[in-house]
Amino acid sequence: MRDYTPIDKVVMLLDQSLRTVHGAHQGTARPNPADRCEEAELTDAERRHVIGLMRVNHAGEIAAQALYNGQAVTARDAEVRRRMEASAIEESDHLAWCRGRVSELGGHTSYLGPLWYWGSFAIGVAAGAAGDKWSLGFVKETEDQVGAHLEGHLQSLPARDEKSRAIVRQMAEDEARHGDEAVDLGGVPLPAPVKGLMKLASKVMTTMAYRI
């Protein structure tokens, strides 16, 4: 295998960020769960609301990619690093699905994508630097909070918008599994103040991404 120089690694990290924020997000070979659903007729207000929610989900998946990439950089154990990288690849499906749904509805993804990426990457690096058990605990807590957030979206999305709901349901299933895998690898519960800060940061991001 090639021995990458520090400059090589920086270029690769920049390439990852550009692909995540601006790329077409091909994802894996999994089918889009929305493809089996019929398009619903939505009012203008409903359409704007769905666009806002799916834009938030897309921004959240940009952040998830960055967190996993940052944690992989500082992971001590090779298996933990491999699991972080594998989860990031699988969750690239979410990016593709959310971006596609926003586009179908005539909306745009968040203009603040680079901010979501690099802010989350820094947090991921810090979580990984704290040690693998804490980094994995961070994954578990993140996925738990994301799961609650997605459940709220299922309550808020129009009942007849099965396309958006199918995407969100599959995302919630994947997030729960990734959280369980992190615990199986040795993740430990985070201190309450850290959980509180994570919730605050998530609230800021979701509020801004819904509008911008």
Q: Is residue 7 part of a domain?
A: no
Left (φ > 0), alpha (ψ -120 to 50) or beta: where does 50 sit? alpha
Q: What pLDDT is attached to residue 15?
A: 60
pTM as predicted: 0.85
Please say if the pLDDT value at position 4 is more than 60.
no
Q: What pLDDT is attached to residue 81?
A: 83
Q: Is residue 1 part of a domain?
A: no
Angle between helices 132-156 and 113-129 (to 10 degrees): 140
Give the whole-angstrom CA distance, residue 81 versus residue 83.
Answer: 5
For 95-150, what is each residue's pLDDT tens digit? 889 999 999 999 999 998 888 888 888 888 888 888 888 888 888 888 888 888 99
Q: Say if residues 32 and 97 touch (Cβ distance below 8 Å).
A: yes
Number of domains in the chain: 1
Count of CB atoms situated within 10 Å of the CB of 149 = 19
Confidence of residue 164 (pLDDT cuts 50, 70, 90): very high
Give the whole-angstrom CA distance, residue 8 versus residue 184.
Answer: 33
Q: What pLDDT is attached to residue 75?
A: 81
Q: Is residue 5 part of a domain?
A: no
Q: Say if residues 18 and 69 touch (Cβ distance below 8 Å).
A: no
CATH number at residue 67: 1.20.1260.10
Mean pLDDT of 163-179: 91
Mean pLDDT of 1-25: 61
Q: Is residue 115 part of a domain?
A: yes
Confidence of residue 163 (pLDDT cuts 50, 70, 90): very high
Q: What pLDDT is attached to residue 123?
A: 85
Eight-class DSSP state of 156: H
Q: Is residue 185 part of a domain?
A: yes
Q: Is residue 171 part of a domain?
A: yes
Pair of tokens at residue 19: 């692909």
Please say if the pLDDT value at position 44 is more than 60.
yes
Q: Is residue 154 part of a domain?
A: yes
Q: Say if residues 53 and 164 touch (Cβ distance below 8 Å).
A: yes
Domain housing 159? 41-211
Angle between helices 78-104 and 132-156 (to 10 degrees): 20
Q: Is residue 20 part of a domain?
A: no
Q: Which residue has the tokens 């738990």?
A: 144
